[in-house]
Copies of this chain bind each other. A is one copy, B any other.
Amino acid sequence: MTAMPNPHHDPDLSTVWLRAFLQVARHGSFTVAARTLGWTQSAVSRQVAALEAALADGPLFDRLPRGVRLTEAGRVLVPYAETVVEAVHGAARRLQEVREVAGGRLRFGAFATADAALVPHALAAFRARHPRVRLSREEGFTPGLLDRLSAGHLDLAVVSTTGGAPLDAYELHHLLDESLYVAVSADHPLAGHEGPVRLGLLADADWISGSPRPEGTLLDTALRQGFRPRVAHVVGEWTAKQGYVAAGLGVTLVPALAAESVRPDVALLPVLDEGAPARAVYAAIARGRSPAPAAQAFVTALREAVTRIPACLNGPMA
């Protein structure tokens, strides 16, 4: 058994060598190849020599008096070299596309009421601007969305401060501060009320909420205004909630983003915010992780969408 000269390790070589090799193969001349590549003839000579030493262990060209011609080994190598050069070129092109948001993918999530008005506008603008980005969408509540963001299953999430989850682990882009409305049935005593109402006026009302406890929901606002609302009905779905309100079974809070889609037999009264605005809406990106370029573009689209939605406070908060 003789010692193997090339112990099954892939040789390492520069793509420059392969490009030089292909040009020489095409033109049949080191000198011409050098001109097309913008190098000197000696450089090409050495590059081919390097390739012959590293990969072929023998000549790839026959050096003839006028120019060169491929050997058998060279002829075998050509398609492989082309594969490599084309793969590198293709990779560069695809990465360029990703940088220019003309490719790649964006996985984002949003909470339900953001999906009602904000996300569709942003989505339409984004698709128009970056048609080649593959989009995938999820719906969920803020805590769950943030978890999926941390786990790397999402690139971006539209979340709100409601829920009190710690947001400092994320890169937040403030979108808007959402004002609140209180929804009452059209024949409720306050239905014709002019101007913002204090929630305290409804301290004795029956409340309809998505959760039996007000903490961590929109009803946090009521707690901050000094009373503990009595939750008479637990209803999750917004359409169902409207039904309860219209039937006079109680009142409920409506975020501004959902205000556009209210049925006519329900009246919306703006809530007087005495402290901080009810809740802020953010686009969140996992901090420290380099953002998908499409995520930055999507934040821009969300920002623009905000300006097209009435009934929102575009807060000055940083």
Chain A positions near chain B (C-beta within 8 angstroms): 6, 10-16, 19, 55-59, 62, 64, 69, 71-73, 76-77, 80-81, 83-85, 87-92, 94-96, 98-99, 103-105, 152, 155, 288-290, 292-294
Once the chains bind, are B91 and A292 in contact (CB under 8 Å)?
Answer: no
- Given known pairs A12-B16, A19-B10, A290-B62, the reply for A80 and B91 (CB within 8 Å) is yes
- Given known pairs A80-B87, A87-B84, A92-B55, the reply for A72 and B292 (CB within 8 Å) is yes
- Taking CB atoms, residues of chain B closer than 8 Å to A155 are 72
Given A71-B289, A73-B99, A80-B88, 19 further pairs, Cβ under 8 A: A6-B92, A10-B15, A10-B92, A11-B15, A11-B92, A12-B14, A13-B88, A55-B88, A55-B91, A55-B95, A71-B290, A71-B292, A72-B98, A72-B155, A73-B95, A73-B98, A76-B98, A76-B103, A84-B84
Determine the main DSSP class of A at the interface with B: helix
In the complex, residue of chain B having the shortest beta-carbon distance to the beta carbon of A82: B87
Once the chains bind, are B289 and A69 in contact (CB under 8 Å)?
Answer: yes
CB A181 to nearest CB in B, in angstroms, measures 39
Give CA–CA (A102, B10) in the complex, Å: 19
Closest 6 CB pairs of A and B: A80-B91, A72-B292, A83-B87, A12-B16, A62-B289, A71-B290
In the complex, residue of chain B having the shortest beta-carbon distance to the beta carbon of A295: B72
- Taking CB atoms, residues of chain B closer than 8 Å to A69 are 152, 289
